[in-house]
Structure formats: C-alpha cells, structure tokens
Amino acid sequence: MAKDKPTPRPRAETPKGFRDYFGAEVTARKAMLDKIAEVYHRYGFDPLETSAVETVEALGKFLPDVDRPNEGVFGWQDEDADWLALRYDLTAPLARVAAQYRNELPSPYRRYAMGPVWRNEKAGPGRFRQFYQCDADTVGSASVAADAEICAMLSDALEIVGIPRGDYVVKVNNRKVLNGVMEVAGLAGDDKEAERGIVLRAIDKIDRLGDAGVRALLGAGRKDESGDFTKGAGLSDSQIAILMQFVTASKHIERRLEDISKLPGALDSATGVNAYLASFQGSAVGREVLGGDASVNVFWNRVATQYLREIVGESAVGREGVEELESIAALLSAQGYGPDRIVIDPSVVRGLGYYTGPVYEAELTFEILDEKGRKRSFGSVAGGGRYDDLVKRFTGQAVPATGVSIGVDRLLAALAAKGRGASDTAGPVVVTVMDRDRMADYMAMVGELRQAGIRAEVYLGNPKQFGNQLKYADKRQSPIAVIQGGNEAEKGVVILKDLILGAKIAQSATLEEWKDQPAQVEVPRGDLVAAVRKMLGQ
C-alpha cells in the first residue's frame, strides 16, 4: 500500500441543509413519536418500515410541487445502471409495498410509518433536507369512514402529544367539490388538465396571495413584488366568478353563521337552523345577537355543506363530494368528534396533484411570535387525503387509499414555542476522581448507583484539576457530585454535593451561609445509594 501524499484535513461539517440533533432534541422527538404510535396502534394500524432507498422507477414523479420526474430527490445510479433515490415521503414507498405484497397483506391494510425523508431542495431557516414524517394510511377501503377515522385519529394524536382541545382544528374538504365547481366553470375534460393544474396551485396559495392574487392567477396572470410575472389560467370573468365562490367559501359561510347567530331564539333547535338554511338565499335575517362562538360552531358543518351544495350546482361529482363531506361529519359526530375539533373547510385543497377525494389538514390555532416578534398563528402541522390512483401505477388496478402525514419537527417546534416541550434533561450523578490510583473504588461506586437504576457516571477526563470535574458536572446538568479523597476513604465515608441546591444558594447566600455548606453532606460509604436517592427526592 503506497503512502498517500499529505492531503489537507477534511472539514468537520454537516452537509449543507442537514443538521445534527443532540440529547433532549432526540429524546423529545422520540417521546412524541412513541405517543403518536400509541394512538395509531390503538386504532388498529400496524407499523411498516421500508428502507430509505427506493428505485426511482418506484418513487415515480409525485414529489409535491414538482412537475418533472426525479427533481428534488437525492438519486444515484447503481452498478447495474438502475437509478436509486432516497425516499422523499412515506406515501410513495407505501404504494410500492401495497402493490408488491398485495396478496399477503390484509385488506384493508392500515399501516403507520415513522422516519426521516429527504428532499433535494433549497434549505432555509428551520427547513432542512432531511426531516421526519409520521404517517398513517388505510389502503383498500373506498369508504369515507376510512377518511373520518383518520381525522379522528389525527385529533387524538395531537391531544396526546400535548396540544389541548381548542388549540388545534382538523379541517376537512373534498377535491370532488372543487372538481364540481370546475365543471360548473366549464373546466372539465382531459383537454383542460393544464388549466385545472394552474387553478389548483393558485387556490393553494390563497393564504399567501389573498383573494386578489388568486383572482389574477385565474385570469391573465400576476406580477409579484419583485416584478416577476406568473402566467395565469386565462379564464373568463364569469369562470373566475364561479371559482371565486369556492375560493371565498369560508367567508360566505362565516357571514351566514353570523346571520344565524342573530336569529331570535332559533339557534338551539336544529329545526330553526334548517328553516334558516332552507330559506337562506335572499331571506331577511333578524339582527338580534344570540349564542356565543361554541353554539354557532356546532352549525358550521351544516352551513358549510349547504353552501357547497349551492355552488356545485348540477355537477354530479360536486354533489358526490358534498355528500361525502356530510357523511364524514356524521360519522365523526357519532364518535363525539364535533366541529370543535374537526370542521369542514373549503379553503383546504392541499397542493398535491394526486388527491382524489377528501383532503384534510390539522392547523394549530394559537398564536406564536415569529422571528421578528410579530404575532402569527402557527398554522398547519399535518395533512393528507384520499389518493385512489397511487397503487394503480404499479398494478393497473385502482386501489382506494387515504392517509395523513404529521410534520413531527413542526409539531415539536409548536410545543416548544408554547413552552410545552419535553424537558427530560436530567443529568447523571457524577462520581469525581480525587485519587487516580483508586479508580476501581470510584468505578465500584458508579456501578452500585447504576445497579440501583440511578443515572451515574465516573469522571473519565484528566482528574488533575478538580475544578474541571465540577465544571464538567455543571455542563452535564448533574444533580449530585460524589467526592471521596484519601481522608474520606480512610474514614469510610463519601461526600455528596447537592449541585442543584448549591446553585440556588450560590445565587443568594451570604458568606456565612456559604461556609456552612448546607448543600454538602458526608455519609458512610455503605449508605451511598440510599443517600443519593434521598437527595434526588426518590
């Protein structure tokens, strides 16, 4: 083996767009995934773990927001000239598995999967090229009961990780409703696929662009602040008007609910609301204010489906979509999931091209401060929907499927922003080394502590400077330092230093108090474990 020429040292750097996770960051995510898995398991979902690597052929071209195949993935050519790539989500591998094992798997097949996915995209603040997803999908059920179940499960999952009811909402919509509206606007048919794509992407940007922006993209096009022009769908004013009925649906529904809330006395009875809804168009409404938010909310789903029914008109697919939404709301309500947790919301369309029916999204409704100190609502942490065509790619046979993906890292960030993050940062008891030659004694101490289930370490650095050992204990957030010098060893005792109490005293004690060293006790060597337990409050 010839000796290498001296080469410059390698850089110790994570690749651009990737990051490392330390200690409590790892623990917090794991705790969250464990809790979510508990919910998924209770709902009958089984775990599936596919490998990180798939053939590009199997992954297909379904990467969100990307039109060209293989763009946005990390891929390479195998020695057999096959192209392989890292998975960009957990749905594409599921579709592959559902096709590959279709004769062995139960049908319907409920599975969950958790793990990292990779995107070869520009990284930014809080946006990395590897991140975790946590998915649950039901493959092989055409019933909207499957969609309803996933919405209920998503709601349970959010609550179990620490998002209280009221701080989140699961929004449900149906692509068929939008397809119905497009049909009404004359955008049905294979030759209108491009226009429908533009419409879908435009609507998905409503939060960022506002009504006017979407309207522009539906028409001639839109010039953004930088002056760049995005070509629009080129629709006529009447087509745009029809689509805008859908885009602005939430506002219309809200206005109707406001009207209902002002109806004298009618709100508590379903009959009253039904009468109102039946007679809605053009009817005069009372002005008197009635119930508060909660009571109004109960009627949201009914008002929303009524409104959507009006705007899909005679479209068969549109009506089917509205009926499915009504079924979902009824099935959820039967399990006690009312609109305080899960609501029909036409503003949810989900950017992904592959959704074919119900789509859903979980939004956190509390406000946080952004980087610039401005209040904003936290927004979406999970989303999904029905995608009946993904398995068909492989088998030629349509297999109905629906599922959700929880953005674990965003959810962790949300909990941290609310100060509800896990904080298991309990450091170990540190056994210090006063006498290098008696390392076996210190190892015996740490061994006893560990046997007793107490997290403990012996100091393994250079023991010369005792101050360094205490600094180390501090950095490790250690609750107790155990000390035994030659004198103590002779007397058969050890000293325990309560580092938590010590830190408190250091902040406030007078010199006299300090000298008393109340945070320090001497105990017989034989009582080590018991004394440490006591100091830890165990």
Question: Which residues define the annotated binding site for L-histidine?
Answer: 89-91, 119, 133, 137, 350, 354-355
Minimum distance, C-beta of residue 170 to a second copy, in the bound complex (Å):
15
Residue selected from 31, 70, 75, 388 as contacting a second copy according to rule CB under 8 A = 75
Contact between 443 and a second copy by CB under 8 A: the answer reads yes
Q: ∠ CA(96), CA(71), CA(12), 5° rounding?
A: 100
Judged by beta carbon, residue 55 or residue 297, the one nearer a second copy is: 55
The secondary structure of residue 399, as a DSSP letter, is -
Burial of 223: CB neighbours in 10 Å, binned 0-12, 13-18, 19+: exposed
Q: Which residues contact 423 (CB under 8 A, 6 or more apart)?
A: 24
For a second copy, which stretch binds (CB under 8 A), given 7-15, 181-189, 224-232, 315-323? 7-15
Residue selected from 119, 129, 222, 302 as contacting a second copy according to rule CB under 8 A = 129
- Token pair listed for 307: 């409104």
Tell me the backbone φ, ψ of residue 35, rounded to 5 degrees. Answer: -65, -45
Q: How many CB atoms lie within 10 A of CB 21?
A: 12
Judged by beta carbon, residue 266 or residue 431, the one nearer a second copy is: 431
Minimum distance, C-beta of residue 243 to a second copy, in the bound complex (Å):
20
Q: How many CB atoms lie within 10 A of CB 371?
A: 7
Residue selected from 10, 227, 292, 537 as contacting a second copy according to rule CB under 8 A = 10
Binding pattern for the stretch 184-223 against a second copy, x by CB under 8 A and - elsewhere: ---------xx--x--------------------------
> Binding-site residue total for a second copy (CB under 8 A)?
107
Site for a second copy in 286-345 (CB under 8 A): 330-336
Q: How many CB atoms lie within 10 A of CB 70?
A: 17
**450: closest CA among 352, 368, 528, 359?**
528
Minimum distance, C-beta of residue 30 to a second copy, in the bound complex (Å):
8
Minimum distance, C-beta of residue 257 to a second copy, in the bound complex (Å):
24
Residue selected from 64, 65, 71, 100 as contacting a second copy according to rule CB under 8 A = 100
Residue selected from 31, 66, 123, 145 as contacting a second copy according to rule CB under 8 A = 145
Q: ∠ CA(450), CA(453), CA(458), 5° rounding?
A: 25
Site for a second copy in 16-55 (CB under 8 A): 16, 18-23, 25-27, 30, 41-44, 46-55
Name the amino acid, one letter, at 440. Answer: A
Minimum distance, C-beta of residue 174 to a second copy, in the bound complex (Å):
17
Site for a second copy in 225-284 (CB under 8 A): none
For a second copy, which stretch binds (CB under 8 A), given 214-222, 356-364, 433-441, 480-488? 433-441
Q: Which residues contact 330 (CB under 8 A, 6 or more apart)?
A: none
Burial of 171: CB neighbours in 10 Å, binned 0-12, 13-18, 19+: buried
Judged by beta carbon, residue 14 or residue 238, the one nearer a second copy is: 14
For a second copy, which stretch binds (CB under 8 A), given 224-232, 340-348, 435-443, 495-503? 435-443
164, containing H or E segment: none
Could you give the CA distance from residue 178 to residue 260 in angstroms, rounded to a whole number? 26
Residue selected from 65, 71, 82, 522 as contacting a second copy according to rule CB under 8 A = 82
Judged by beta carbon, residue 258 or residue 435, the one nearer a second copy is: 435
Judged by beta carbon, residue 141 or residue 261, the one nearer a second copy is: 141
Query: What are the distances in angstroms from CA 413 to CA 368, 410, 416, 417, 459?
Result: 11, 5, 5, 6, 34
Judged by beta carbon, residue 360 or residue 378, the one nearer a second copy is: 360
Judged by beta carbon, residue 102 or residue 418, the one nearer a second copy is: 102
Judged by beta carbon, residue 96 or residue 410, the one nearer a second copy is: 96
Region of 332 on the Ramachandran plot (φ > 0 left; ψ -120 to 50 alpha; else beta): alpha
Judged by beta carbon, residue 346 or residue 407, the one nearer a second copy is: 407
Site for a second copy in 466-525 (CB under 8 A): 472, 475-476
Q: Which residues contact 386 (CB under 8 A, 6 or more apart)?
A: 147, 175, 355, 356, 357, 358, 359, 400, 401, 402
**403: closest CA among 365, 348, 356, 363?**
356
194, containing H or E segment: helix 193-204
